[in-house]
Amino acid sequence: MRFVAVGDLQPGMKLARKIVNRKRTSMLEKGMVLTGTHIIRLQNSGYLGAYISDPFSEDIKIAETVKEETFQNGVDAVADASISDIMEVAHALVRDISSIEQISIDLLDLRSFDDYTYHHSVNVAVYATAVATLMGLDDEEIQEVAVAALCHDLGKAMISPDIINKKGRLTDEEFEEIKNHSRYSYEILYSNPLISTAVRQAVLCHHENLNGSGYPLGKMGDEIPLYAKIIHAVDIYDALTSRRPYKEPYAPVEALEYMTGGVNILFDENVVRIMQKVIPAYPPGMDVGLSNGEKAVVIANTPDALRPRIRIYGSGKEIDLSSNLQYRRIFITASGVLMHESKNGVAVLNENRGQKKDAPKRIVVVDDSPISLEQTKAILGEEYDLILLGSGVACLNYFKAKGVPDLLIMDIEMPMMDGIKTTDFLKKSGYEDVKIMFLTAVANKDTVLRCNAAGALDYILKPVNPIYLKERVRIALDKNLDRE
């Protein structure tokens, strides 16, 4: 079987896995042949696509991490907010995952907009349980991680769906309300005798970032419990790879790249390393585009996570990208659910991920290195109105002449006046509302504390990881990802 993005589904294709929504109103069974009406319904409900079976992909094996029944029971238990059911599902999840010899979470979750939060919680539980297992936690601990993961967003039910699903940018008040959901989840669990303190703490802290920039407590480093570190990382991974009313999904390879960019800033290094072991960058059954213009489907993974074994569409030729000499200079240019938006065989990633276009946001980038400025321009130039400046003084002059931009991206080490001093000066000059993101080559504790003290919204490590920078800028401007 193989995965076909919703935009590429054709009438006559045969489903390899059933598609069921929570209300069981439109169940498409395995083996069913899709009609035009089915496809339109899947499109409108926010599904990413479907797994189909055809002779071309007959032999592609996609591992099932947890049983379909376990997953469905999880969705029901979370939707009903039944703690006793959640405990049972957690047991089943742990049992399913512990019986796998080599854990690989191959299967993309097929969910509608309506079922998002419930599926999200079960997905997070699957990933978290897999990570906890590979980390070598004991059985009781793994069970606790699974329970905490299933419960982490229960508190969202207490927030208006209008805010949860809002398409546009959240107001500050709306974002404050969203941020309450970790506390609400914690309160729901508080008086339940089945729930341990460790589980409650994990739920409360699942939006804490390693550098103290998270919520609700702003805990740093090892003040954050391990369970929370695990759930936080996989939570963001699942959010990145999902389609929401306000954003398009990332392919697994890109989402993993983002996680890597956030290591030691937002995420625990060990957790991210283990995630890279359990989540394939190129899951079997997924389409990829190649730099020579060919399109292929992934057959299986190889020891090189970024060079899978593939089958070329058209010729049917099989290539192991990790060892084939003829293809050693060919690289994968695109992967995943947005492949159908490709132009000339090469997908244009990221194009549709931002907010629906208003006027482009204005971003001032200050860096003494012209090369750095060019790199930032290459990453952000298409989406934003960028003003590139070479020094702190030029930045001050710009503010005086043109006012406060939507965002300021500031290098730290610069001759004359460094980035942090420039920022202090700006704030003292009456521009205290400016949103600042620092770019830094060193992430030692001292720098982190200085950035925080200077009122930094965020900081990015050099060398810049493009996907990470793009997404952090979007979060700074639109707060999308921190909703999860």
Binding site for Fe ion (CB under 5 A): 153, 235, 484
Residue 227 or 399: which CB sits closer to Fe ion?
227
Residue 57 or 123: which CB sits closer to Fe ion?
123
Q: How far is CA 131 from the centre of its chain?
A: 16
Nearest in space to 286 (alpha carbons), one of 450, 50, 64, 455: 50
Output the smallest distance, CB 218 to Fe ion, in A. 16
Check if the beta carbon of residue 365 is closer than 8 Å to that of residue 387.
yes
Check if the beta carbon of residue 475 is closer than 8 Å to that of residue 361.
no
Residue 411 or 484: which CB sits closer to Fe ion?
484
Angle between helices 139-151 and 83-98 (to 10 degrees): 130
Q: How many CA atoms lie within 13 A of 330 on its CB side?
A: 23
φ/ψ of 150, rounded to 5, equals -65, -30
Q: CA 237, CA 27: separation in Å to the nearest integer?
A: 27
Residue 205 or 443: which CB sits closer to Fe ion?
205
Output the smallest distance, CB 373 to Fe ion, in A. 36
Q: What residues pair up with 3 in beta bridges, in sequence order?
A: 51
Q: CA 469, CA 181: separation in Å to the nearest integer?
A: 26
Q: CA 417, CA 154: separation in Å to the nearest integer?
A: 48
Other beta carbons within 10 angstroms of residue 31's beta carbon come to 11
Q: Mention every residue, 6+ apart, whose C-beta is less than 8 A from residue 76.
A: 22, 85
Check if the beta carbon of residue 291 is closer than 8 Å to that of residue 331.
yes
φ/ψ of 270, rounded to 5, equals -65, -40
Residue type, 333: T
How, if at all, do strands 49-53 and 287-290 pair? Answer: unpaired
Residue 153 or 458: which CB sits closer to Fe ion?
153
Check if the beta carbon of residue 295 is closer than 8 Å to that of residue 307.
no
CA distances from 301 to 330, 333, 348 (A): 17, 17, 24
Q: How far is CA 53 from the centre of its chain?
A: 28
CA distances from 386 to 134, 377, 380 (A): 43, 7, 8
Residue 254 or 484: which CB sits closer to Fe ion?
484
Residue 215 or 327: which CB sits closer to Fe ion?
215
Residue 204 or 380: which CB sits closer to Fe ion?
204
Output the smallest distance, CB 235 to Fe ion, in A. 4
Q: How far is CA 244 from the centre of its chain?
A: 12
Q: CA 383, CA 377: separation in Å to the nearest integer?
A: 10
Residue 153 or 411: which CB sits closer to Fe ion?
153
Residue type, 338: L
Check if the beta carbon of residue 300 is closer than 8 Å to that of residue 309.
yes
Output the smallest distance, CB 204 to Fe ion, in A. 11
Q: CA 248, CA 356: separation in Å to the nearest integer?
A: 11
Q: CA 318, CA 312: separation in Å to the nearest integer?
A: 6
Taking the CA atoms of the chain, what radius of gyration do you get in angstroms? 23
